[in-house]
């Protein structure tokens, strides 16, 4: 960052381009106030200047400032582009506030660009409504889209899955099969998550095998976690642990935490103590494992913390 500033200071005549580069660099490195000062000092701002500051706000958790800046852009007549929309949608998504999201959606529909925007913006709107908990709004917008790709379908499935609509998630997946839409690892993560939390063992295992056998995709750690969590919550603790043991890669502490939670639910003290010790070997500072298992009425902290 220091070298970038030295190079910037050596430029004799500043235009918007080097200023925009610095605003973006400050934002990516967490220097939000410096990005704002650079923006204020930029005499010839263009849409990239505004987008860079808006991104600096959004990337560093100042999402309301990002939305406010977008509003000022609109009021000042700045020629807003797709990057502007994607950035402010991302900020609204992180805030999860429906009325802000609805306002941004209206701005997009009223803009001169609305008929020329690509599927990335529309997919972001589906995701934004889902993060705000407004799955029906997400579904209505999704159904009104003229063109959808597999990323858009994934956003719709993710919206249902994250808001507890397990069966509707699987229903959307069945639609993708009927429409001949290509599925990817994200698609299967949504349906596995939904099936797992609905306790649908047969469906979950079918999706897990389809991922590999029908699509030639390699399951990732998150896919295995869904299966571990499902089997564990149904009381099939031995099967759950076996999945962890025979993964094609080393399970992380989060994967073992799923099994530990199931051991607590079903009162398997011996297995739970062993898993808790294993988690602490992987991550000695994992206080969540300590709190979770030590709060189990039938467990003894002296027993499970002791070396095997």
Per residue in 54-90, pLDDT (tens digit) is 999 999 999 999 999 999 999 999 999 999 999 999 9
- Residue with token string 């705000």: 132
Mean pLDDT of 8-37: 80
Residue among 117, 91, 115 nearest 104 (CA): 91
The residues spanned by each domain of the chain are 1-117, 118-197, 220-308
Query: Would the CATH topology of 1-117 be identical to that of 220-308?
Result: yes
Of 207, 272, 205, nearest to 237 by C-alpha is 272
pLDDT confidence tier of residue 292, bands split at 50, 70 and 90 = confident
What is the pLDDT at residue 307?
45
Tell me: pLDDT of 13 over 70. Answer: no
pLDDT, residue 15, reads 66
The b-or-e profile of 59-97 (16+ CB within 10 A means b, else e) is bbebbebbbebbeebeeeebebeebbbbbbbbbbbbbeb
The pLDDT value given to residue 298: 53
Could you give the percent of the chain with pLDDT greater than 70? 91
* pLDDT value of residue 1: 60
Q: What pLDDT score does 294 carry?
A: 75
Token match 């849409």: residue?
47
Q: What is the mean pLDDT of residues 125-135?
A: 95
Angstrom distance (rounded) from CA 302 to CA 283: 19
Distance spanning both ends of the chain, measured CA to CA: 49
Average of per-residue pLDDT across 100-115: 86
Q: Do 52 and 35 meet the contact criterion of CB atoms below 8 Å apart?
A: yes
CATH of 220-308, one of 1.25.40, 1.10.3470, 1.25.10, 3.40.50: 1.25.40
Q: Measured between alpha carbons, how far is 263 from 257 in angstroms, rounded to an integer?
A: 10
pLDDT in tens, 224-256: 999 999 999 999 999 999 999 999 989 999 999
Mean pLDDT of 166-183: 92
Q: Mean pLDDT throughout 168-195?
A: 92
Count of positions (residues) in the chain: 308
Give, in order, the Cα–Cα distances in Å from 4 to each of 24, 32, 35: 11, 16, 13
**Topology of domain 1-117, CATH:** 1.25.40
Task: Identify the CA nearest to 259 among candidates 243, 248, 282, 246.
Answer: 243
**What mean pLDDT do residues 274-294 have?**
85
The 3-state DSSP class for residue 13 equals coil
Quote the tokens at residue 286: 């994992």
Q: CA-CA distance, 254 to 188, in Å (whole number)?
A: 19
pLDDT tier at 14, thresholds 50, 70, 90:
low
How many angstroms separate the most distant Cα atoms in the chain? 73
């Amino acid at each position: 960052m220091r070298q970038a500033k030295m190079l910037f200071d050596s430029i004799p005549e500043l235009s918007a381009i080097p200023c925009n580069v610095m605003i973006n660099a400050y934002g990516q490195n967490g220097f939000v106030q410096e990005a704002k000062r650079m923006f204020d000092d930029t005499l010839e701002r263009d849409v990239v200047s505004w987008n860079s500051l808006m991104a600096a706000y959004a990337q560093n958790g100042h999402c309301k400032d990002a939305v406010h800046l977008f509003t000022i852009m609109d009021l000042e007549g700045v020629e807003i582009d797709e990057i502007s929309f994607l950035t402010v949608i991302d900020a609204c998504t992180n805030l999860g506030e429906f009325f802000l999201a609805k306002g941004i959606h209206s701005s997009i529909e009223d803009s001169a660009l609305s008929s020329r925007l690509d599927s990335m913006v529309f997919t972001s709107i589906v995701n934004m409504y889902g993060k705000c908990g407004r799955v029906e709004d997400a579904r209505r917008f999704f159904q009104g889209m003229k063109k959808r790709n597999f990323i858009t379908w994934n956003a719709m499935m993710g919206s249902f899955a994250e808001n507890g609509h397990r069966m509707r998630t699987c229903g959307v997946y069945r639609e993708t099969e009927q429409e001949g839409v290509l599925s990817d690892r994200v698609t299967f993560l949504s349906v596995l998550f939904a099936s797992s939390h609905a306790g649908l063992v047969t469906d979950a295992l079918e999706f897990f095998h389809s991922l590999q056998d029908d699509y030639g995709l390699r399951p990732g750690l998150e896919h295995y976690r869904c299966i571990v969590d499902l089997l564990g919550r149904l009381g099939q603790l031995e099967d759950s642990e076996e999945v962890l043991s025979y993964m094609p890669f080393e399970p992380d502490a989060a994967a073992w935490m799923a099994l530990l939670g199931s051991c607590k639910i079903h009162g398997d003290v011996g297995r739970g103590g062993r898993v808790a010790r294993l988690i602490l070997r992987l991550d000695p500072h994992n206080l969540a494992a300590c709190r979770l298992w030590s709060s189990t009425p039938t467990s003894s902290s002296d027993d499970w913390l002791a070396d095997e």
